[in-house]
Structure 1
Amino acid sequence: MQILTPQVFWAQRHGEIFLRVELSDASDVDISLQGHNTLQFRAQGHGAKGDNQYEFSLEFLEPVKPEIHQKSTQRQVDIRIRKQDERWWERLTLREKKPLFLAPDFDRWLDESDAEMELQAKEKINKISVESRVRKDPYVGLKKGYLFMYNLVQFLGFSWIFVNMTVRLFILGQDSFYDTFHTTADMMYFCQMMAVLEVANPLLGLVKTGFFPAMIQVAGRNVILFVVFGCLDEMQNKAVVFFVFYLWSSIEIFRYPFYMLACIGTDWKLLTWLRYSLWIPLYPLGVVAEAVAVIQSLPIFDETRLFSVPLPSALGHSLSFSYTLQLYLVLMFLGLFINFRHLYKQRQRRYRSRKRKVH
């Protein structure tokens, strides 16, 4: 039996290829993909030369996905293949010269601009369909207003701390290291007490960020501020306070305005880059500064017996709080690993979504 080539018509979209094989009453249809971009077709059916074995091979311009969807009808064989990368091809085959058996499928044919409009129309319809199924939150305006004001207040608070410390550093030099706590502690107390809301916001469904990473950061900072610095007068005059406060405020003066603008749907590219990039060096440095503060406080807690736990006389007088802080040091660096991983994934997701919007 003579082997012949059927007439094949083709069309494309940004993500798909459509092939229509003019072969009626097709049987024993065998369609396979060789490598990443070569389609092999073989079938028995009635074509231009009557009942025969028909076959053809197409080497596509770019790689395609291995899943092939085909449907045989009484008149033809329809084939649909997804492109590996969703973009418009200038032609179907790798070779510039088109095979003689291949022709455009004018029933499906669109040029690139028409296909783009069709894609946008589908996306718009899907978006409207999804939005129609999602129940609108009647309090969304109130929630956004609350989040905007919260982030604004925190931005102003940390900005005051950052500017105050920077000005004093330029005027007093290293002398400003030793009175940082007495000049900025009240504002830092206020900001860190407000930060407790960042743990509550995910639980109330006001933000999509995780509860656990927020709790690690807020609890860790509050231990340093209220316990190590706030309860030990000897720690309040140490230079490490300057570095801890300066690193904290350096991160927050970019983080809070980013979230503040996000509440009103505004994206400032420079601020976005600073928010998702500056933390990479500053966050680990902040944890190291906190660890130094904890280490410097250990002998003070041993000497003052502050927060020590009384023990029975057979076991000794008391259990020093410094042992708790030593355990906290281990947890601090474990928290650094967890939060760093979480923030890095946030950064990757952010820039992947931006790339998709650009393309």
Structure 2
Amino acid sequence: MKHLENELLSDRDAEPFPDVKTCYLFGYNLLQFIGFTYIFTVLTYNCVKDVNYAFSNTLEIAGSQMLFVQLAAVLEIVHPLLGWVKSSPLPAFMQVTGRNFVLFIVVGQEPRLHENSMLLVLFLIWSSIEVVRYPFYMLSLLGKKSDVITWCRYTAWIPLYPVGFISEATIIAMAIPYYEQTEKFSVFLPNSSNMSFYFPWFLKIYIFLFFPVGYFMMATMSKQRQKALKSIQLFKKKRD
């Protein structure tokens, strides 16, 4: 970042100052990068210090920070809809709504899941993905490119996405018996709307949706990876 700052200062006479939209998007990505970096760092530190404590107190350690960055991530659906970024809003919608459903609804509304050890794995996976994604976006906004960051952005998802999907599905599966007991979010007949909704059944259907959604997300990233890695110098040098 210091190197980029020096380059910007040296080129400010030759290049126009970024517009308000670019400054906003850069600030947003920087804020998210700092948030996820903090989450990854503090969880890793606690794992090294006392892994048992980290497994059972993930929400206490980084819960409020994760709630903040995931709530802010809703803007990633808005940005492409406004035409501020060129990417499709569908992948962002699927990722953000999926994460927020697990975090705010499934886990957030069931206290018995707050000390679940799978939360540590899930938080580490989410933050590991984002600590390389947001720097890539920031460099792109500045018209800069790093072969290493580009490679990490389009490669880290290969092991992390499947583990993330499995972690989310595991947490939802663990939540089903709890919601069967409490009947929270379920609606039974008779009622004024003359309709019923059983939340545990919805969770079971939701787990099966991970297969097509996961395939779509990874197929999309695979296509992007093939296109992105063709242009980076890291691989051109190896071929030469």
Superposition TM-score tier, normalisation by shorter sequence: 0.7 to 0.9
| 1:194 alignment partner, one of 72, 81, 100 | 72
Q: Offset at 1:139?
A: 11
Runs of 4+ residues deviating >3 angstroms: none
Q: Which has the higher strand share?
A: 1
Over alpha carbons, which structure has the higher Rg?
1
Q: Offset at 1:148?
A: 0.6
| 1:267 alignment partner, one of 145, 152, 167 | 145
Q: How high is the TM-score relative to the length of structure 2?
A: 0.86
Q: Structure 1 CA distance, aligned partners of 2:167 and 2:50?
A: 22
Deviation per CA, 1:111-132: give whole Å up to 9, x if none: xxxxxxxxxxxxxxxxxxxxxx
Q: Structure 2 CA distance, aligned partners of 1:147 and 1:283?
A: 25
Q: Does the 8 Å contact 2:147/2:232 carry over to 1?
A: no
Secondary structure of 1:206 counterpart: coil
Q: Structure 1 CA distance, aligned partners of 2:60 and 2:152?
A: 30
| 2:98 alignment partner, one of 195, 198, 220 | 220
Match status 1:336 vs 2:232: no
State the match for 1:238 in structure 2. Answer: 116
Q: Which has the higher helix share?
A: 2
Deviates more, 1:267-276 or 1:147-156: 267-276
| 1:229 alignment partner, one of 103, 107, 116 | 107
Q: Structure 1 CA distance, aligned partners of 2:146 and 2:220?
A: 23
The equivalences for 1:1-359 within 5 A come to 141-312=19-190, 319-354=197-232
Q: Offset at 1:245?
A: 0.6
Unmatched segments (≥5 aa) in structure 1: 1-137
Identity of aligned residues (%): 40
Q: Structure 2 CA distance, aligned partners of 1:282 and 1:150?
A: 23
Q: Structure 2 CA distance, aligned partners of 1:182 and 1:162?
A: 14
Q: Does the 8 Å contact 2:122/2:168 carry over to 1?
A: yes
Q: Structure 2 CA distance, aligned partners of 1:280 and 1:167?
A: 25
Q: Structure 2 CA distance, aligned partners of 1:328 and 1:139?
A: 46
The number of residues matched between the two structures is: 218
Q: Offset at 1:174?
A: 2.5
Q: How high is the TM-score relative to the length of structure 1?
A: 0.58
State the match for 2:9 in structure 1. Answer: none
Q: Give the counterpart letter for 2:54 in structure 1.
A: S
Unmatched segments (≥5 aa) in structure 2: 1-15
Q: Structure 2 CA distance, aligned partners of 1:218 and 1:319?
A: 24
Q: Structure 1 CA distance, aligned partners of 2:214 and 2:229?
A: 22
Q: Offset at 1:140?
A: 6.5
Q: Offset at 1:193?
A: 0.7
Q: Offset at 1:352?
A: 2.7
Secondary structure of 2:154 counterpart: helix
